[in-house]
A and B are shown apart, each in its own frame.
Chain A
Amino acid sequence: MTDLLDRLPPDPILERRAVIQQRAAQTIGRRTLISKVFISLMVLAFLLALVPLGSLIFALLQKGLSSISWPFLHTLPTQPSLIDQNAIGGIGNAIEGTVIIDALAGLIAIPIAVLLGLYLCEATSRAANFLRAIIEIMTGLPSILLGVFAYEYVVVRMKTFSGLAGIVALAVLMVPLIAKASELAFRGVPNTLREAGLALGARSSRVTRGVIIPAALPGMITGILLSLARAMGETAPLLLVIGASGDWTWNPLKQMSALPLLTYNYSGSQYPSQRAAAWGVALTLVVMVMILSLGSRFVAARLRKERR
């Protein structure tokens, strides 16, 4: 038996393997060291990525909290003058403007976007694929372009800046975001559910209403709240179209004020008091955005739990 093995011609694969194993054994120390260094660098890079976040939160809290007070949140802004440079007043109307613009934009966008999501989930035609591609591209378009769009169609036609133009811009911004999220939510509903509904004799439209939509609701609500949060923080489109207002404006056909825009304007102000207040405005905005973002997780988790 051993004779037989000895007489075999040398196997090139075995030889090659022996060489590789030898090399591996020789270099294992060095390679492990390099690997350790490399991996530490990667974890370090990740920690480095968190540094800006930490600095940002620190800055917001440190500079923002000191300028926020109850009067700041619910009174109207005043124009500081050379005599009284600290008279900046509050941001009440900007909070109100932000809420109105965001809510009305959502009100316009949600029904359109949810129907669109339903259509994209059900349809498989080439038109649907094309629409899907367009929606994907729309989500990546710079928001300032929506400002140009709203300017052209609302501001120019109405001959005045208005909250409505901001609402239109943000609604167009939200539609592709919500449509995508609700398409995913609809796709997540198991086919068995739909088939069970049909097997019980329900019509297709009734199954959609009674089975599919409720089952997709948590995903849809998450998507909607996240889109509202995203739209709330947008400055660029509002900058072009909503004008400015120093008063409570409940009529969206007039010029309005909004938190992101106010942050931007205050940051470039000539008065140190307004520049400092920019942090207070920013903190208020971030808190409102975070309530929506975190709320989305909470609502979705809650709905899922109830369903079980």
Chain B
Amino acid sequence: MFFGAVIVLFVWSVLHTAWPALHQFGFHLVTGKSWVPGTGPYGALPLIIDTLLTTLIALLIAVPVGLASALALLYLIPQRLRATSSALVELLAAVPSVVYGLWGLFYLIPWLNKTLDPFLAGITGSRWPFSGPQEGFSVLLAGIVLSIMILPTIVAISRDVISVVPTDLIEGGLSLGATRSQVLTKVVLPSARTGILGAIALGAGRALGETIAVAMVIGSNPQIPHSLFSTGATLASTIATEFGEATGSTGGALAALALMLMIITAAVNAGARLLTKRALASK
């Protein structure tokens, strides 16, 4: 009951601080295209777009790699290496996010500048989506760092839901003459579909709300990105970088950002829990 009270207080605190801003700016807070801290206007559209974009990039990288890793951990890696491999992936989850930010700042930025950005720009001939100046700090880099951070979540959850796929189904597939890859892609993955969606949604929830690592590598520049090389700022990173200097109306606007972030992540997480629960219970 005490805890229930804490939650009520929690939601109330955010609503309470955000209320003046909500009242004053209304829907402009969500749809406004320009965010200028200190003086306003406070339009969170660029932040929302950057948040969704970095999460999308992270998922595009982490979902294929994560699913392949989960399958590899369950079926492909030699038995005696499995425990060690699982522990290594879990180690990725134990690293604090500020350390990922540090690593992105000092290791990935030089690599992006020297190797990845010119390579990507070369593919499209410096046209969209790989156009514009290559500064290292970018939504692309934030997406890459996020993809590494959500990988353990996706691997661990999808491994759990895939492991409850009945052995009968797998053996049935193999006995019909299907090859191993055919069984994995046409039997195992489809029957674990719901749970995998849940794992992806959990990963997305984590990427949407990640703060410090993103704040360190995205360039903290609230603008609607014109390419993947643009700097940006997400909902969470903006709260982190601007809260310290926030005065008057900015504080309220930041609380409104917190409210948006809370609604988005709570919805995504609730959906994710529903999916994984159903997947694990149905077996």
Contacts and interface: CB of A to CB of B under 8 A. Distances in A.
Given A34-B179, A41-B68, A145 B240 contact: no
Interface in B48-84: 64-66, 68-69, 71-73, 76-77
Given A35-B182, A140-B265, 16 more contacts: A31-B182, A35-B179, A45-B68, A116-B3, A131-B4, A140-B206, A140-B269, A142-B208, A145-B261, A148-B14, A149-B9, A152-B16, A153-B9, A172-B6, A233-B96, A235-B212
30 contacts: A35-B181, A38-B185, A43-B77, A45-B68, A46-B68, A50-B89, A53-B91, A55-B103, A59-B103, A112-B2, A116-B3, A134-B4, A140-B202, A140-B269, A141-B209, A141-B262, A141-B266, A141-B269, A143-B209, A148-B14, A149-B10, A232-B96, A235-B98, A239-B212, A263-B102, A264-B98, A267-B216, A282-B99, A285-B98, A285-B99
A234 interface: yes
Contacts of A60: 99
Given A53-B88, A145-B258, A149-B14, A43 B96 contact: no
Contacts of A63: 106
Contacts of A53: 88, 91-92
Looking at chain B's contact residues, the main secondary structure is helix
Given A141-B269, A142-B236, A282 B258 contact: no
B267 to A, nearest CB: 9
Interface stretch (A188-196, A213-221, A286-294): A286-294
A152 B13 contact: yes
Interface string A66-108: 0000000000000000000000000000000000000000000
6 closest A-B pairs by CB: A142-B209, A233-B96, A140-B269, A45-B68, A35-B179, A38-B181
B148 interface: yes
Contacts of A147: 239, 243
Contacts of A239: 212, 240, 243-244
Contact of A28 (B89, B97, B177): B177
Interface string B1-26: 01110110110011011000000000
Nearest to B70: A46
B240 A236 contact: yes
Nearest to B144: A52
B247 interface: no
A223 interface: no
B210 interface: yes
B211 A143 contact: yes
A140 B205 contact: yes
A42 B94 CA distance: 24
Contacts of A300: none
Interface in A43-66: 43, 45-46, 48-50, 52-53, 55-56, 59-60, 63
B103 A56 contact: yes
Contact of B105 (A31, A136, A267): A267
A18 interface: no
Interface string A150-173: 011100000000000000000010
A50 B87 CA distance: 11
B96 A260 contact: yes
B85 interface: yes
Given A45-B65, A148-B239, A233-B98, A141 B76 contact: no
B273 interface: yes
Contact of B98 (A39, A282, A290): A282
Contacts of B240: 144, 236, 239-240
B159 to A, nearest CB: 11
Interface string B95-112: 111111111011100000
Residue with the highest number of chain B CB atoms closer than 10 Å, among A49, A152, A282, A285: A49
Contacts of B205: 140
Contacts of A49: 65-66, 69, 89, 92, 151, 155
A279 interface: yes
Contact of B181 (A39, A137, A138, A148): A39
Contacts of B265: 140-142
B272 interface: yes
B51 to A, nearest CB: 11
A53 B151 CA distance: 11
Contacts of B65: 45-46, 48-49
B179 A31 contact: yes
Interface string B144-168: 0000100100010000000000000
A133 B181 contact: no
A143 B96 CA distance: 12
A159 B47 CA distance: 30
Interface string A233-248: 1111001100000000
A59 B108 CA distance: 11
